[in-house]
Chains A and B, each alone.
Chain A
Amino acid sequence: SAVISQKPSRDICQRGTSLTIQCQVDSQVTMMFWYRQQPGQSLTLIATANQGSEATYESGFVIDKFPISRPNLTFSTLTVSNMSPEDSSIYLCSVGRSYTGELFFGEGSRLTVL
């Protein structure tokens, strides 16, 4: 299994500001995935981050709101831009095993927007 570290683990943010979440993996991976879990909701895929190319966003998520960087095979960042209270969620970074489909998740970054 992969060891995935996320920073920050939690933060309280003001409306209108932006926050960048970092994700570090202990091994090189081609694809990294960013998920969101809103309060009381299921996990939802935001985007897939490939090293060397632009991230692929799921329906309902756009690059201007959630810009992603993938500078190398072990690191990625997700920025939540111009935050509103509706962005209060747990944001999770994950990597997977292509032959089994299982994903390994980081511990998550809990954001509260006031």
Chain B
Amino acid sequence: DQQVKQNSPSLSVQEGRISILNCDYTNSMFDYFLWYKKYPAEGPTFLISISSIKDKNEDGRFTVFLNKSAKHLSLHIVPSQPGDSAVYFCAASEGLRAGGTSYGKLTFGQGTILTVHP
């Protein structure tokens, strides 16, 4: 049972345009969501996160949107740069905001390969 799904295995975007990566989840107990970027032969790197009490969080070129009713979140990268080419993972946690015992347990999606062409 895949609780976090990234239905697009890959995405190709022109440099300077917007990249939109999507993620759906099924567990309504998730209350914290994160995006990670992973280059080959490296571990995942934290990008941006959002708590379930918000619907948007912005950090520079990266914005994450959360639609709780649809159980959907998305990561927008504007403008996209060739250096953004990587695998992007969506992840979710439950009970973190309440200081729950699930700290450290992230449920990951399968990743989306983003390629930004010059």
Contacts and interface: CB of A to CB of B under 8 A. Distances in A.
Query: Do the two shown chains form a genuine complex with each other?
Result: yes
Interface of A: 4, 9, 31, 33, 40-45, 48, 58, 92, 94, 96, 98, 100-108
A54 to B, nearest CB: 16
A60 to B, nearest CB: 12
Main secondary structure of the interface of B (DSSP, over half): loop
B104 A45 contact: yes
A108 B39 CA distance: 12
Which residue among A33, A42, A102, A103 has the maximum number of chain B CB atoms within 10 Å of its CB?
A42
Interface stretch (B11-19, B43-51, B61-69): B43-51
A105 B44 contact: yes
B81 to A, nearest CB: 22
A3 to B, nearest CB: 11
B106 interface: yes
B105 A45 contact: yes
Contact of B111 (A4, A33, A42, A102): A42
B93 interface: yes
B44 A43 contact: yes
Contact of A101 (B41, B43, B93, B108): B93
A42 B38 CA distance: 12
A100 B49 CA distance: 9
Contacts of A100: 49
Contacts of A101: 32, 34, 49, 93, 96, 103, 106
